[in-house]
Amino acid sequence: MALIGMVNYINTAPIYEIWKETPYPESWQIVEGQPSELNALLEAGQIDMGFVSSYEYAARPENYQILADLSISATGPVGSVYLFSLVPPGQLAGKKIVMTGQSGTSVRLAKIVLEEFYEVHPIYTTGNAITVTNSEDDISAVLAIGDDALRLRFENRYPVQLDLSDEWFRKTGLPFVFSVCAIRQEYLDREPEEARAIRETFVDCRIRGVEKMAEICDRVARRIPMDCEMCSSYLNGIQHDLSVTKRQGLELFFTYLMKRNEASPAALPLKIFR
């Protein structure tokens, strides 16, 4: 049996919606969850592989390999990882920011953008960005991801909306990889051919998902809710491959993490399974 983690945000829809209609062995079982939940399951060996925060791989690279040609990433704006703020980012020094607990990668990207790019050091706390109200005058900004970020964008509560993937791209010229499909080394050692078959199925789903994007948008837009045009614009901005430039972006992110003592020194070079 293979237990496979799948992020339950609409940003995986171009792969996951096709997977749902694809015949595959009953022994391949999907476990849905937020990135942080899937990170914990993969670390504990309760799933064998899955789309997890890039940070999870960087923290424990000795446990994993990365499946080739799969990611959740963006070249420029991603549309669903935002710092929503009452003031410009350069004015957030010493201000309180509520950080999502749903993704280790996005939290660390936010800190890199603020501390390394804008050279400010806010006060961080963890909470639910959706439940924060502008009347809480000690909260100056919130970090939201996934479907929560989409909802806050359309509610337009905050005058400053900083797309963190776009900030990364403008500073580095490289894509940002939010999620990789990581596989536990012990499972890979035990079932290399099954692992390869699952990877190939995911890649095939990714390719077919691009071809059926209009149908997929119609299917998932109501979850937010948003109209199909907005959903199409959002999903077409998200990429699910792991090209050379994506790997370079991932390597640079890990380099920042290692410099900040937030990743294992063994995070590089990347270990890619094909």
Question: In this predicted model, what pLDDT tens digit does every residue of 223-270 receive, in sequence order?
Answer: 888 888 888 888 888 999 999 999 999 999 999 999 999 999 999 999
> Token pair 């400010």 is at which residue?
120
Phi and psi, residue 132, nearest 5° = -70, 135
DSSP letter for 162, please. Answer: E
Fold entry, domain 81-172: D-Maltodextrin-Binding Protein; domain 2 (3.40.190)
Q: Which CATH class is domain 2-75+177-273?
A: alpha beta
Q: Round to whole Å and give the CA distance between 221 and 252.
A: 33
- CATH 3.40.190.10 range(s) for the chain read 2-75+177-273, 81-172
Helix (H) or strand (E) holding 52, with range, is: strand 49-53
Q: How far is CA 250 from CA 68, 149, 153, 268, 269, in A?
A: 13, 22, 26, 10, 11
> Token pair 């945000």 is at which residue?
9
CB neighbours of residue 30 within 10 Å: 16
Confidence of residue 134 (pLDDT cuts 50, 70, 90): low
Identify the residue with better confidence: 85 or 129: 85
Q: pLDDT exceeding 90 applies to what percent of the chain? A: 78
Question: In this predicted model, what pLDDT tens digit does every residue of 176-229 receive, in sequence order?
Answer: 999 999 999 999 999 999 999 999 999 999 999 999 999 999 999 888 888 888
Q: State how beta strands 49-53 and 2-7 pair.
A: parallel
Q: Round to whole Å and give the CA distance between 32 and 208.
A: 21
pLDDT at 22 over 80: yes
Q: What pTM value is reported for the model?
A: 0.92
Q: Which residues pair with 272 in a beta bridge?
A: 66
Q: Which residues pair with 188 in a beta bridge?
A: none
User: Measured in whole angstroms, how far is the alpha carbon of residue 248 from the centre of its chain?
Assistant: 16
Asked if 82 contacts 113 with a C-beta cutoff of 8 angstroms, the reply is no
Asked if 5 contacts 47 with a C-beta cutoff of 8 angstroms, the reply is yes
